[in-house]
A and B are shown apart, each in its own frame.
Chain A
Amino acid sequence: MRKNEIVKILVPAGALGIPYDRVALDAGLLEKPDLIAIDGGSTDSGPFYLGTGTSKYSRSATKTDWAELMDARAKANVPLLIGSAGTCGADTAVDWMLDLTLEIARERGEHLKIATLKSGQDQDTILRALERGAITPLEHAPTVTAETIRETTNIVALAGVEQIQAALNTGADVIIAGRTTDTALIAALPIARGCHKGAAWHGAKIAECGALATTNPNSGVVLMHFDDQGFVITPMADDAKATPYTVSAHMLYENANPYILYEPGGYLDVEAAQYRSIDDKSVRVEGSIWHDTTPYQVKLEAARCAGFQTVSLVMVRDQHYCRHIDAWVDALKKSFAQKALKNGISDVSLELRIIGQNATLGALEQRRHDAVEFGVMAIFTSHDQSRSQEAAKLLNPDLLHLPLTPHEPMPTFAFPFSPPEMNKGALYEFCLNHVMAVDDPMDGFTLEITES
């Protein structure tokens, strides 16, 4: 370990695609960072993106933001690193990001060395690992069988600092990593250069959402300083400050446990960490502890296709029906069950959600009130899109006209669209919350170099 090594990392935003302060980015470049690092994704937008291996952000918006960071990289003449590329970090999302990078480099007339680190896992490898007991469930993990694995459309392992360090060691100008832990892409370089491990991981957790740990979350840009005892966070926007409160409170964010963070190869404990202001906008943190664990484990994420959905929407404004909305929705369910039986549709499930009553919280909703109107959202789920659509068409006349009692005049409710049903496509589900033991951290990861 080289003593007194200082590593500075510029983090432009919590994720590529989230707005940040351009002036603050320029201020950050003047601080001569060793690396520009940004997160490209998360599971937070849901399983669709991993299921399909695609990005949630538009290609054009991603290109605009990425071109600005490539420009910043050229000015600073340091590597630019993105982790969890294309929201989900699947191999197809890494290829998408590489394609964008090559296009921008061409337009800028830049010759770049680009490293891609792929995290995609093939089903056979995971099935063998499952058989030999190398895959362990985390708390509240779904049950996993060989069949679950075979149903997946994408499985990724989350890279830690070891795999990111391998990518940094290629000397690439731009590094596009597939799924990584949010923290590993910031912790990798300081750990490689002998900075304090606990500080590297803790600082990385604090910086992974950009300026969220400061008084101006929307400004995005933070400069992280790492050394052999601690880290310092400094937001780069003029009006942003880091305080011991904003920094320590960030450990609460999206963390089930505010003191412990599990990462590939070990865990971070911040319970003894000390936070102090060192000037009017920077906070220094010391005392976080990293614990190595064996065997070396990587976390797995996977999504499988759980069916296809069609959604119909009808608006109920008639006050008589609003007052009896539960009874009306029950009548819809009964009518659907009868029609499904009569027409041989046994392979479609129907869920009716009453918008304006409890469509957000479901059975947990505590409040009831009279409403001016209700929306009724009918969600049909089946193994086949044509079947869910067929079922939606079957219910269509009832959604429009079903009376509460046979003797009242036929009502007509409000369809906002023609047709009122929309094919939503595939329904994906996350199906792994597990860790896998590997002999070598690079097992299952693929590092490649492309020259632009």
Chain B
Amino acid sequence: MVLGQEVKKIRSKNAGPFWLTIDIFCFDDKNFQDIQTRLDTDTVARLFQTDLSQISRFDIASLQVIKFSLPRPHIQGTAEDSDMHGASFAVLLEELDLGP
């Protein structure tokens, strides 16, 4: 199963023109703990073709949320940018297969 089918919701959004932030909302504590151990930050870095050191990760147990923040693949609105609001990047995690 892909990650998007295992959790409640995944969203991505600009955090200002230079940063992207991705929130993974889990169903409950058990789901959160499960995803927390199976999803490593390396995988996210590979998906976004960036260096591990560029990614901040927040595991927020009280909200059952795992959050990643990273520099935008391209600065918002530059000639190279293809998603002004950054909401489509969530798909990369939604379609990620974490294995059994």
Point out residues on A near B: beta carbons under 8 Å: 43-48, 138, 140-142, 245, 248-249, 252-259, 306-307, 309, 349, 351, 353, 359-364, 366-367, 379, 381, 427-430, 433
Chain B contacts of A255 at CB under 8 A? Answer: 15, 21
B84 CB–A CB distance under 8 Å: yes
Contacts of A361 in B (CB 8 A): 82-83, 88-89, 91-92
Separation of A252 and B62 alpha carbons in the complex (Å): 12
* Residues in B whose Cβ lies below 8 Å from that of A360: 82-83, 88
Say whether B16 contacts A43, CB under 8 Å. yes
B60 located at the interface, meaning its Cβ lies under 8 Å from any Cβ of chain A in the complex: yes
Determine how close the nearest CB of chain B comes to the CB of A278; give it in whole angstroms: 19
Total chain B interface residues with beta-carbon distance under 8 A: 38
- On whether A256 and B15 interact (CB within 8 A), knowing A43-B76, A245-B63, A306-B78, the answer reads yes
A9 to B83 alpha-carbon distance, docked (Å): 35
Inter-chain CA distance A4–B61, complex, in Å, is 34
Residue of B whose beta carbon sits closest to that of A249:
B63
Residues of A within 8 A of B76 (CB): 43, 46-47, 430
Q: Which of A46, A256, A351 contacts B69 (CB 8 A)?
A: A256
CB distance from B67 to the nearest CB of A (A): 6
Determine whether the beta carbon of A433 is less than 8 Å from that of B16.
Answer: yes
Contact present for B92 and A364 (CB under 8 Å): yes
Which residues of A lie under 8 Å from residue B4 when comparing CB positions? none
Nearest CB in chain A: distance from B87 CB, A: 10
Q: Is the CB of B79 within 8 A of A379?
A: yes
Is there an interface contact between A44 and B14, defined as CB atoms closer than 8 Å? yes
- Name the residue of chain A whose CB is nearest to the CB of B16: A43
Q: In the complex, what distance in Å separates the CA atom of A69 from the CA atom of B89?
A: 36
Q: In the complex, which residues of chain B have a beta carbon less than 8 angstroms from the beta carbon of A307?
A: 79
Which residue of the partner chain, among A252, A351, A433, contacts B79 with CB atoms under 8 Å? A351
Given A257-B58, A364-B49, does the pair A44, B18 have CB atoms closer than 8 Å? no
CA distance A253 to B85 in the complex (A): 13
Query: What are 19 contact pairs spanning A and B, CB under 8 A?
Result: A43-B76, A47-B77, A138-B18, A141-B18, A248-B63, A249-B65, A252-B23, A254-B13, A256-B16, A307-B79, A351-B80, A361-B91, A362-B80, A363-B49, A364-B49, A428-B77, A430-B75, A430-B77, A433-B18
Q: Which residue of B lies closest to A252 (CB)?
A: B23
Q: Are B71 and A254 in contact (CB under 8 A)?
A: no
Could you tell me the distance between the alpha carbons of A357 and B34 in the complex, rounded to whole angstroms?
Answer: 33
A residues in contact with B14, CB < 8 Å: 43-44, 254
In the assembled complex, the Cα of A379 lies from the Cα of B60 at a distance in Å of 42
Do A48 and B69 have beta carbons less than 8 Å apart? no
Closest residue of B by beta carbon distance from A48: B77
Q: How far is the CA of A363 from the CA of B81 in the complex (A)?
A: 11
- Chain A residues with Cβ under 8 A from B15's Cβ? 254-256
Max chain A C-beta neighbours (<10 A), residue from B63, B83, B88? B63
List which B42-78 residues lie within 8 A (CB) of chain A. 47-49, 56, 58, 60, 62-63, 65, 67, 69, 71, 73, 75-78
A353, B69: Cβ atoms closer than 8 Å: no
CB <8 Å contact, B77 and A429: yes
Closest-by-CB residue of B relative to A351 is: B79
Q: How far is the CB of B92 from chain A (nearest CB, A)?
A: 6
Nearest-Cβ distance from residue B18 to partner chain A, whole angstroms:
5
Question: Does A366 lie within 8 Å of B48, measured CB to CB?
Answer: no
Cβ of B40 under 8 Å from chain A: no
Given contacts A254-B14, A255-B15, A433-B17, contact A364 B84 (CB under 8 A): no
Shortest Cβ gap from B82 to chain A (Å): 6
The interface residues of chain A lying within 8 Å CB-to-CB of B83 are: 360-361
Quick check: is B6 within 8 A (CB to CB) of the other chain?
no
Q: Which residue of B lies closest to A138 (CB)?
A: B18
Shortest A290–chain B CB gap in Å is 21
- Bound CA span A44–B63, Å: 25
* Contact with A429, one of B25, B56, B78 (Cβ below 8 angstroms): B78
Q: Which of B16, B18, B65 has the most chain A CB atoms inside 10 A of its CB?
A: B16
Docked-complex contact B18 and A140, CB < 8 angstroms: yes
Q: Of B19, B25, B83, B85, which is in contact with the most chain A CB atoms at under 10 Å from its CB?
A: B19
**Are A47 and B92 neighbours in the complex by a CB distance under 8 Å?**
no
Q: Are B92 and A142 in contact (CB under 8 A)?
A: no
- Counting chain B CB atoms within 10 Å of each CB, the highest count among A257, A367, A381 belongs to A257
Q: Which of A43, A258, A306, A309 contacts B17 (CB 8 A)?
A: A43
**Using Cβ atoms and an 8 Å threshold, which residues of chain A touch B23?**
252
